[in-house]
Amino acid sequence: MKKTLLVAVLSLMGTAAFAQSGTGFGIKAGLSYNKNGDLIQTISNSAQNAVEGAEGKAGYHFGFWGKLDFPKMYIRPELVYTKTKSSYDVGSSSNDYDLSKLDLPVLIGVKIVGPLHVFAGPAFQYILNNDLGDIEVQDVENDFSVGLNTGVGVNLGKVGLDVRYERGFSKNEARIISNNVTNIEGRVDSRPSQVIFALSLKL
């Protein structure tokens, strides 16, 4: 009885994995928890700058993916619109740092067992817009930057679920110009550090 049940479970897992295996394409969407890099504020008549770490906040993404499938591995490029948010305390106020970007991860995946797979790869990013609440900031230094995606996922029929970590490789700062009350100087690091939860559907 136990052997029969085990065979049935393994067969079901194999069927679910096969349903989203194979070369194809689909759509995806999900939520994320992001913390950008430090905000560094220049203080007049001081030998030291004030460094403010980001408070993480929720964001979201949606987009498309394609897949080239092989017996033990796969290649999966994605094109995703991403909106992230972090919060910084500057003076007596809290300001949300909103960042919009286009992401192009190119993932190499390895099939572990049944529907389970792991993946990693570079994520090419194009910054569309950055905003720091009441504080005026310039555009980021580099519109294009590169990060790393790594994670684990499962395929259940035509539906895929994955969780991944994204990290920017290098600082990509935007210079602070002023706020509505006083002139301030400094810079904020737009580099992402986020955990991403995604749901995908094969079309």
Q: Which pLDDT belongs to residue 46?
A: 54
| Residue 85: both structure tokens together | 């948010």
> pTM for the whole thing?
0.81
144-156 and 116-131 strand pairing: antiparallel
pLDDT in tens, 107-152: 999 999 989 999 999 999 999 998 888 788 888 888 899 999 999 9
The predicted structure's pLDDT at residue 39: 84
More confident residue, 50 or 167: 167
Contact 39, 88 (CB under 8 A): yes
| Residue 16 phi, psi dihedral angles, 5° rounding | -65, -40
Task: Convert the pLDDT of each residue in 44-69 to its tens digit.
Answer: 555 556 677 778 899 999 999 999 99
What is the b/e burial string over 52-79, where b = at least 16 CB atoms within 10 angstroms of the residue's CB? Answer: bebebbebebebebebeeeeeebbbbbe
Render pLDDT for 5-32 as a digit per residue (tens, 0 to 9). Answer: 444 444 444 444 444 567 899 999 999 9
Phi, then psi, of 117 in degrees rounded to 5 = -150, 155
Average pLDDT on 63-91 reads 92
Average pLDDT, rounded, for the chain: 84
Strand 50-52 vs strand 116-131: parallel, antiparallel, or unpaired?
Answer: unpaired
**% of the chain beyond a pLDDT of 70:** 81
Distance separating the N- and C-terminal Cα atoms of the chain: 37
Q: Are 193 and 150 in contact (CB under 8 A)?
A: no
Residues 173-182 pLDDT 10s: 888 876 555 5
Determine the topology of domain 2-202 in CATH.
Porin (2.40.160)
